[in-house]
Structure formats: structure tokens, C-alpha cells
A and B are shown apart, each in its own frame.
Chain A
Amino acid sequence: MTYKWVLLVVALLAQLVAATAQASQEENRLMAVFLGRFASYIELPDRASKLFVITVIDENPFGSLLDDLYAGKVIGGKPVVIRYATKVEEVGQSDLLFITLVNPRARQDAIDYGAKHSILTVSTATGFAERGGIIQLDFLQQHTRIKINHAAALKSNIRIGAPLLSLASVIRGDAQ
């Protein structure tokens, strides 16, 4: 009898894990899509680079998704290039920085780097926007919530389009 209960619990847990994994996979796919779409609603300062560089710093949750999704794509008239970095020093000249750093200090360094080099910083980390990150993405029960630190964007000389602002929770005060 006890054995059956254990089996049942294990089966339920397995199902839950599978469902969670599937949800997480869907969230990652949406995030990957959103990164490119954010670019359509922002205006970056002019750069000499002829590429639009998306850099993922630290852990890459997308696998090959980003490479597949943006292969041959163009954003703002520039071909998209996907780069992966493990630390801030490797970021170099980027247009969009997706930050998955778990360490708060390292994450803050990445935010500061982005602010200094007018890079659109995006993350799903809690409190990211409040700490000077520009766009924070939250997935709650398959619903997307976007939080934008408008002041941080302006400080980085990045303009964000009204349609995107109209969707987002906007932090207008001087963060950081």
C-alpha cells in the first residue's frame, strides 16, 4: 500500500517537473523572441558598429534558441549577432545585454557596464529594474510582465517607444 502511494507521488512529481520544464521552455522561447522585439521599440545612440549584438552574460538559458531564431535576421538595419559571455570584461561592444548573473554584485557590475556603454540591459532577476537595469521581465502564470526603468534608459541615452512603455510598469524616478 505504501509502495503504491510512493509510486503515485513520484508519478505526480514527474508530471509536475515535466510541466514545469515545458513552461520554462515556453518562457525561454518567448524571452528569446522578446529580446529582438524590444529592439524594435528602442532607439540606441549611433554606433560605429555595423552589427546588432545581443550578448548573454553568464548562464545561457536558451541553448541554441537565440542562434536559430536570429540567424540571418536584421534589427535596425544591422545583421544580428549573438554572443555569450561569462563575465563583464567579455561583453565588449553590445547593443543588448541579457543578464542571467545570479551573483548580485556581478549583476550590478553588468548593469553599470551597460549604463556606461549605452547598452539595453534585460533580465528576469527580481529587483533588476529597481537596481538600474532597464528592462525586467517577469513571467507569472503564463502572463508576461514588463518593468522598465525609464530613468535608467534615459541615463544610458536610450529612448524607449511609447507602445512599449504603455505595456510596462515604468519606474520614472532616479534609480541607483
Chain B
Amino acid sequence: MKFSNLSIRLKLVVLLGASAAIALFISAVMSLVLTFVSVRDESLRHLQQTSDIAKDNLTATLAFRDNASAARMLGSLSTNRRILAAVIDDDDSLRFSEYVSPASAATQTRGYLAQVAALARAQRGQLFQQREGLASITWNYMFTVSPIVFDGKAIGTLTILSDNVELKDRLSTYIVMQLLFSVLTLVIIVLISIRLQRVFTTPIFRIIEVIREISQTKNYAVSVDTVQNDEFKALYVHFNDMIAEVRDRDATLSRLATTDPLTGLANRRHAMEVMQFMVSRARRKQESFGLVMLDIDHFKGVNDQYGHPVGDAVLKVVASILTHTAREIDLVARIGGEEFLVLCDKSDLQATHLIAERIRAAVELTDIAYGDEKSLRVTISGGVYAAVPETEILDLYLSRADSALYRAKEADRNKIVNWEKT
């Protein structure tokens, strides 16, 4: 599985875990190196201390060439189980006295001694002229070679050879402890990572959830909020701004698609959609549904006599009257040049007629201002239809209202006429 295909949750856990593992590894390696150096120096220091203590007494044995005492004193080093061998060489590099631990592999130990002796010979100047000791550690053993100084002159050397068992044991223990500690720490960090990843993923998933909701419901009224005050807060703010912009644009587009630009009333298409909804519901619930078709009388004459700007003003005033006179639950639409439609939800013939008559009267009594303090009046005719719909064919009801309107026009206009079955 490719890393890029993992979920954000898993990526975060992997990244945090990997970061912690790398940090732990570097820390463990550094710590191991420092521990090795520290333990090595400490081991060599202990060996050097042993050598210094032994040297004080051994100086006299070499000074007076007392091999027996030297052997006895070197033999006392057997109390230290780690010491493989100790030898005294005189200033001619001849072996003066020697102790080889019976617990050690003698041949191997003598091999180590030979290696150290070769090194001591190579560093003779350091040992005898500068009277500085040698100390070093190898994979198999560690050693010190100290000059035996008498009256300011090096008269020989004391070599002490020790094994590395303690050093290796301590390092092994340290490595095991370090591994256990690292594994435990890693587990804790991964567990914490699993918890911490929510800090990052929860805000992301919240946004994804909202986007999915918007996608499904087309409801741009939703917004996301967070108590966090970080980059996610900024992301949320920008996301909410973007949604608000989409919401406004959607509303504008919707308004443009459903509204008549001159009068601000619903346009014909929107009126038909709403009418379809009203008819369907009224038919389903067996409720009465009413509609009024209105037409401004002699509107062509108004245009011809006063000009189109005044005609437009008349349309706006009539639209305003319709809006304010109809009920809030009614829909008022401009469906043609001077034609209007009022959809009266849950209204029987009497109620619908009453609304239409109220509109007609209001229009008749309204002075429509134009030019310099001039005004005119217009009248309006209307055809009313109301019933419990027996079909969802809208044209049927429109034609019935239109038929009633026609009869109102025929009856000298400024009238509201109900549709009657002929």
C-alpha cells in the first residue's frame, strides 16, 4: 500500500510514529556511544588505579631485583577476577616478574601480552623518557602499561591486562534497557499519536461532512465553527465566507430566474412552478385552490398616450398594489405585458373573489404619479377560478380564469368575474 493512498489519520500516526522512532534511534545511538565512552574510560581508570596502587609496592621489588616479592605482590592481583595478567619488565624490556591468572586461557592471554609488549616497545620513548603510561581497550581486552619510576628514572614497566567482560556486560545491559525503553516509548508515542491526530483530522472531517451535506441538500445556509484558534480557524472562516458567497450568488441567480425584473414580482415560470406545487397539494388534500388572472384595462392606450416610461411606472404601481393587497400566503406574478396572476392557496371561490375585488378596488382608487406632479388612474379587470382541483393540468385552470377575464373585459372592464361552467 502506497503511503500517499493512506488515510490522513493513518498518515499522521505513521508520520508521528516515524518521527519519534527516528528521534529515539538517534538519541539511542548517541546515548550508546556516550555510555560506551564513559564506561570505557571508567574501566580504564579503574585499571589504572589498580596499577598505580600495585606500582607503589612493586617499585621497591624492581629496584632491589626481588623477583620473589614481585611475584607475591603480583599474585595478590588474583583477588580481581577481571585481571588476566600482570607483568613487570625491566628497563631492558626483560621480563622481571609475571602473573597470569589461572582462570584465564593462558595461551590466549600470553598472545595478548605479546601484543601489548610489542606496543610498549614501540612506545618506549613515551614510557621511559616522558614517563607516561599507555592505556587502551580492544574488543577482547584492555590494558595499562605504566612506567615504574625510581628516583625520577623509569626502571621498568608494569603491565596489567584485564578482560572486557564487565564492560561488555554493562553495555549489553544498557542496550537491552535502551531497546525496551525505546519500544515502550514508541508504543506510548503511537498511542498518543492516535489521540493527537484527532486535533488535525477532526476539523478536516468536519469540513468534509459539511461539504457532503451541502452537496446532498444544496443548502448553502450551513456553516462550520471551531473553538480552535489556529490555521483551522482561518480555514473555517474562509470556507464560511466562500459558502456565503455561493449562497448569495445562488440567491441572486434564483431571484433572477424567478423574478420579473421590472416589477419585482414572480415571473411566469416561477408562477407555474408554484402553481404546480399548490395544485398538487390541494388535489392531494382535497382542498380548494384559487387563482385570479388580472389585466390592466386599456394599457396600450396608456403607453400610446403617456409613453412607455409612464407605462412602466403604472405596471410597478399595480404590482405594488397587488403585493400589498394580496395575502402573505398568496403568490403574485407578472405573466405578460400587463397581465398578472394571483395564486390563492387554500382559497375557495368566495375568498378568491374577495381578494380579486379588493385588488381591483385598490387599483381603481390609486393615483399614479408621473411627470411634474401629474397623475393618472387605471382600472383592472380580473377573472377568478377556484375549486378543488380534479386534475393537475394547469392550462385548464389558467384557461378558465382567462375565460372569466375575457368576460370581465366584455362587460365594460373594471370588473371581477368568476368562471362559470357553460
A residues at B contact (CB < 8 Å): 30, 34, 36-37, 40-41, 143-146, 161, 163-164, 166-167
Contacts and interface: CB of A to CB of B under 8 A. Distances in A.
B57 A37 contact: no
B59 interface: yes
B151 A34 contact: no
Contact of B68 (A143, A163, A164): A143
Which 7 residue pairs of A and B lie closest in terms of their CB atoms, listed nearest first? A163-B60, A167-B69, A37-B63, A167-B66, A144-B65, A167-B60, A164-B60
14 contacts: A30-B65, A34-B64, A37-B64, A37-B151, A40-B63, A143-B65, A146-B64, A161-B60, A163-B56, A163-B57, A164-B64, A166-B57, A167-B60, A167-B61
Of A143, A144, A145, A161, the most chain B CB neighbours within 10 A belong to: A144
Nearest to A40: B151
A144 B59 contact: no
Given A163-B60, A164-B60, A166-B60, A37 B69 contact: no
Given A167-B60, A167-B64, 6 more contacts: A37-B64, A163-B60, A164-B64, A166-B60, A166-B69, A167-B61
B67 interface: yes
A144 B67 CA distance: 8
Interface residues of B, number: 14
Contacts of A41: 60
B64 to A, nearest CB: 6
A34 B68 CA distance: 17
Contacts of A40: 63, 150-151
Interface of B: 56-57, 59-61, 63-69, 150-151
Nearest to B60: A163
Contacts of B61: 167
Contacts of B65: 30, 143-144
B63 to A, nearest CB: 5
B66 A146 contact: yes
Contacts of B57: 163, 166
Contacts of B67: 143
Given A37-B150, A166-B69, A167-B69, A144 B64 contact: yes
A161 B56 CA distance: 12
A164 B57 CA distance: 9
A164 B56 CA distance: 11
Contacts of A145: 66
Contacts of A36: 151
Of B63, B64, B67, B69, the most chain A CB neighbours within 10 A belong to: B64
A106 B340 CA distance: 164
A15 B60 CA distance: 34
Of A30, A37, A146, the most chain B CB neighbours within 10 A belong to: A37
Nearest to A165: B60
